[in-house]
């Protein structure tokens, strides 16, 4: 996946029965943590173009100083 800071590894799967949507999990190469996910359109369908981002989620994690 291309980002303003460079390329990040993504693991993806294309679902032809879901209109060719591709789901990708984005991984931080330094830590191996999942830092996001996105859905892409792999074909022109339902008004979306090829490789158009349908949804994007960012995940931020941190360590709490105490347990709840």
**Phi and psi at residue 31, in whole multiples of 5°?**
-115, -20
* pLDDT number for residue 53: 87
State yes or no: pLDDT of 4 exceeds 60.
no
* Amino acid 25: pLDDT: 93
pLDDT tens by residue, 31-55:
888 999 999 888 887 788 888 888 9
Question: Is the pLDDT score of 6 beyond 80?
Answer: no
pTM, rounded to two decimals:
0.70
């Amino acid at each position: 996946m291309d980002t303003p800071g460079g390329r990040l590894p993504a693991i993806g799967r294309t679902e032809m029965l879901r209109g060719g949507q591709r789901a990708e999990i984005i991984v931080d190469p330094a830590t191996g943590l999942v830092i996001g996910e996105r859905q892409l359109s792999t074909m022109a369908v339902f008004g979306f173009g090829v490789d158009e981002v349908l949804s994007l989620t960012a995940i931020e994690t941190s360590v709490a100083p105490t347990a709840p």
